[in-house]
Amino acid sequence: MAEKPRSHGLKKVRLSARPRDLMAETARPGAWEARVITLFPQAFPGVLGESLTGRALKDGLWSLTPIDLRPFGEGRHRNVDDTPAGGGAGMVLRADVLSRALDAAAEGIRPGADWPVIYLSPRGRPFTQQDARRLTRAEGVTLLCGRFEGVDERVLEEYAIEEVSIGDFILTGGEIAAQALIDATVRLLPNVLGNQASTEEESFSDGLLEHPQYTRPATWRGRSIPEILTSGHHGEIARWRRRMREELTRKRRPDLWRAYLEAERKQKE
Where along the sequence are the contacts to ligand SAH (CB under 6 A)? 120-123, 145-147, 149-150, 165-167, 169-171, 173-174, 177
CB of 123 to ligand SAH, least distance (A): 5
Nearer to ligand SAH, 169 or 223 (CB): 169
CB of 161 to ligand SAH, least distance (A): 11
Nearer to ligand SAH, 56 or 166 (CB): 166
β-pair partners for 93: 81, 151
Q: Long-range contacts for 235-242 (Cβ within 8 Å, ≥24 apart)?
A: 240/211, 241/211, 242/211
CB of 170 to ligand SAH, least distance (A): 5
CB of 62 to ligand SAH, least distance (A): 21
CB of 168 to ligand SAH, least distance (A): 7
Q: Is the dihedral of CA 55, 59, 60, 65 positive or negative?
A: positive
Nearer to ligand SAH, 38 or 53 (CB): 38
β-pair partners for 140: 33
Nearer to ligand SAH, 54 or 173 (CB): 173
CB of 171 to ligand SAH, least distance (A): 4
Contact call for residues 249 and 257 (beta carbons, < 8 A): yes
Nearer to ligand SAH, 140 or 174 (CB): 174
Nearer to ligand SAH, 148 or 214 (CB): 148
Residues near 73 by beta carbon (within 8 Å), at least 6 away in sequence = 79, 80, 97
Which amino acid, residue 77? H
Residues near 223 by beta carbon (within 8 Å), at least 6 away in sequence = none
Nearer to ligand SAH, 147 or 187 (CB): 147
Peptide bond connecting 111 to the previous residue in cis, omega within 30 degrees of 0? no
Q: Using CB atoms, what's the residue nearest to ligand SAH?
A: 146
Which amino acid, residue 137? R
